[in-house]
A and B are shown apart, each in its own frame.
Chain A
Amino acid sequence: MSAAPAKPPPSTLRPIRGPSALGGDASRFWTLAWTLAILEFRLKFFGSVLGYLWQLMRPLMLFGVLYVVFTEFVRIGGGVRFYPAVLLLGIVLYTFFSEVTGSAVTSVVNRENLVRKIHFPRLVIPLSVVLTSYLNLLLNLFAVAVFFVIAGVPVRLSWLEIVPLIIVLGLFCTGIAMGLSALFVRYRDVQPIWDVVLPVAFYGSPILYPIEALSNQAQWVQTLVMCNPLAVIVQQARHALIDPTAPTAAGAIGGATYLLIPLAVLVGVCALGFWIFNRSAPRIAEEI
């Protein structure tokens, strides 16, 4: 006489929906994204003996090389206040951008065994890539803050502006990550193409050079450069964190209303990315 466990009454049938980008309840969505992100981060962090140091080495090495070249040989940074700090901050923000988008490209295909065998909202995958990179960015920003203090950059309340800035940067990256990861399932040359685009994004943003260096060009050149949301974020971060005398993003683009252009780019990229991902999500498992 084993007591049968109490069962819910009948007619609790619910339909099973096919795979989709979102779907399911929000808490499961975030649990999954967060779990995947944490594990990925820990793999990078604890994967080798030096772990985090290696993660930090990449931007630092790039910084070291560029710093030597552009202060000793080319002397672009000569007239810029706190040029090393500007360079390092720009590199760290760009590293986040390239890390998210670069590893997002292959992310869905790499998680093939999950996609083909388990039902879960597909968007979890590119999102977990963004979250992993956020964890890395936070650690890197901490290192940047230490560097600022050593370099004598005054600590100011406007440092807090970094929070909304990296949120916007994260949104921009998520949009690109969604689009690329879904496209790569079908078109495998997305990866080499993106590898070419990334350096363009680097040199197209005021990281190496201050935006003022373009002032002897026509205004439209500056405006064009600042249409890139990454450039807007880098420039605004420089103004807010390092040098209040440096032009704001609005100033650099030629007026606050012009900021609507990068905003439109940001929204457009996110919408396009989501549209691409959402459209291909139901069939990713079949096409991989």
Chain B
Amino acid sequence: MPGAAPAVVVRDLDKSFTMPHEQVHTLKERALHPLRRIGADLFTALQDVSFEVERGEFFGIVGRNGSGKSTLLKCMAGIYSVDRGRVLVDGRLSTFIELGVGFNPDLAARDNAILNAIMLGLSKKAAEARYQRIIEFAELEDFQDLKIKNYSSGMLVRLAFSVLIQVDADVLLIDEVLAVGDASFQQKCYDQFNRLRDEGRTILFVTHDMGAVARFCDRALLLEHGRVKMIDAPERVGAEYFEVNFGRSGAVQEEGDEVVHRGDGSVEIADAWFEDGNGIRVDSLAHGEPCAFLAAIRCVEAVEDPSFSVLFETAEHQPVFGTSTTRDVERTGRFAAGEIVGFRVAFDNILSPGRYYASPFVSRRGGGDDVHVRVDRMTSVVVTGAATGGGLIDLPHDVRVERQPSAVPS
């Protein structure tokens, strides 16, 4: 909705927490050491956060753990007081940091639903008037007099979500509530959110799930260390998110991963890395771009007709792709001692987003187990990109729906 009035305005928000070095938990401790100053660290959770969300927008807030997403949401909801800055909202705002807040196990569904609705901002009268719709949407008419403690977790989630849907807020702040429930329930949730959005309501949504952000959000905000890193289309934010998470640091090898060289020692692999389409060594690769895997191999002794291979695996040790010089040439030639050989595998990157490991190895002619050298997981690369269909690879493809008029009975 371009040009519409903003529904939410956040300006220059700062928030920090004091974390005392020593917790004073009792009055006794306080009384015993009345003069001792307790040192405290100031932890800055949010700094200079400003953004606007337009009415009818589905706005994602993403970031790593500890980047300040939830703190931002709580500041916007008025649960935390802010140190500086303002939050302005057009219309009624409801926060769903957890589904079914305040549910009491010893009360029946009816009382819980009404209490929850009142807590979320409805008047008592409105809550009672809407109760019928809540219980119908949750499909729990037969269980409304049952105490909540006897509910299954699925029933509980359905009830809580129905309340959320009926609360009728103009602006909804939602924190990962959709992490609960099965896939079909999540789909139902998103369908409802889309309906709410179509009605002109604004939804702000905190999550780690970049897939959900890409599918549902109009725009997204990326937080890093409490600062706004970028606000953009979800695909771009998703790509940047993977950068932030996996790229840049250069620390490709995770701690504890010891690189093990195996083989007869006649050949060494000096280095292995990935390059992007421009031939620049990188730690992350954009999905869909041309790229290459390279290894620098040094011959300690003279070797004849070795075959050079590489195997790509996922973090879960699932082989994704393997290739070798034996595919094209069996006899690679004779290499003298001390000679350095480059091995290069160029490909179009159709891997799904995620981290991939490369294990290069050099074996005697004919391959097999007779290995000159093999280095498992010598290097790795992160493939970035928001779109993921769930498989290991994303093939270049085309999706189409075709109607066949003749097949429709007239």
Contact = CB atoms under 8 A, between A and B. Distances in A.
B381 to A, nearest CB: 40
B90 A10 contact: yes
A35 interface: yes
A16 B87 contact: yes
B352 to A, nearest CB: 35
A254 B357 CA distance: 90
A143 B133 CA distance: 42
Interface in A114-144: 114, 116-120
A113 B119 contact: no
A184 B121 CA distance: 28
B6 interface: yes
Interface in B371-398: none
B115 interface: yes
Contact of B104 (A10, A43, A283): A43
B106 interface: yes
Given A114-B102, A286-B17, A11 B5 contact: yes
B76 interface: yes
Interface stretch (B21-29, B216-224, B271-279, B359-367): B21-29
A36 B75 CA distance: 25
A156 interface: no
A247 B199 CA distance: 69
A61 interface: no
A13 interface: yes
A14 B27 contact: no
Contacts of A5: 199-200
Interface residues of A, number: 43
Nearest to B97: A117
B188 to A, nearest CB: 21
Nearest to A43: B106
Given A35-B118, A120-B119, A7 B200 contact: yes
A15 B97 contact: no
| Interface core residue of A7, A17, A189 (most chain B CB under 10 Å) | A7
B236 interface: no
B86 to A, nearest CB: 6
B340 interface: no
B77 interface: yes
Given A118-B119, A118-B120, A18 B90 contact: no
A116 B102 CA distance: 11
| Interface core residue of B5, B75, B78 (most chain A CB under 10 Å) | B78
Interface string B196-228: 001110000000000000000000000000000
B79 A15 contact: no
Contact of B107 (A13, A18, A39, A282): A39
A12 B91 CA distance: 7
Contact of A118 (B55, B95, B111): B95
Contacts of B107: 39, 42-43
Given A13-B6, A16-B77, A39-B104, A31 B119 contact: no
Given A16-B88, A18-B81, A188-B26, A7 B55 contact: yes
Contact of A119 (B4, B79, B111): B79
A73 interface: no
Interface string A251-288: 00000000000000000000000000000001101100
B375 to A, nearest CB: 49
A65 interface: no
Contact of A32 (B77, B90, B98, B119): B119
A286 to B, nearest CB: 6
A152 interface: no
Interface residues of B, number: 48
A117 B98 contact: yes
B9 interface: yes
A4 interface: yes
Given A16-B89, A19-B79, A118 B115 contact: no
Given A13-B6, A16-B93, A117-B95, A187 B25 contact: yes
A39 B127 CA distance: 15
B123 interface: yes
B115 A286 contact: no
A74 interface: no
A18 to B, nearest CB: 3
| Interface core residue of A14, A43, A47, A190 (most chain B CB under 10 Å) | A14
A4 B55 CA distance: 13
Given A10-B5, A31-B123, A42-B107, 7 more contacts: A13-B9, A18-B82, A32-B119, A113-B101, A119-B78, A188-B26, A190-B27
Interface of A: 2, 4-5, 7-8, 10-19, 27-28, 31-32, 35-36, 39, 42-43, 47, 113-114, 116-120, 183, 186-190, 193, 282-283, 285-286
27 contacts: A14-B88, A14-B90, A15-B87, A15-B88, A16-B77, A16-B78, A18-B78, A18-B82, A19-B79, A19-B81, A31-B124, A39-B107, A117-B101, A118-B77, A118-B119, A118-B120, A119-B79, A119-B95, A183-B27, A186-B24, A186-B25, A187-B24, A187-B26, A189-B25, A190-B27, A283-B81, A285-B79
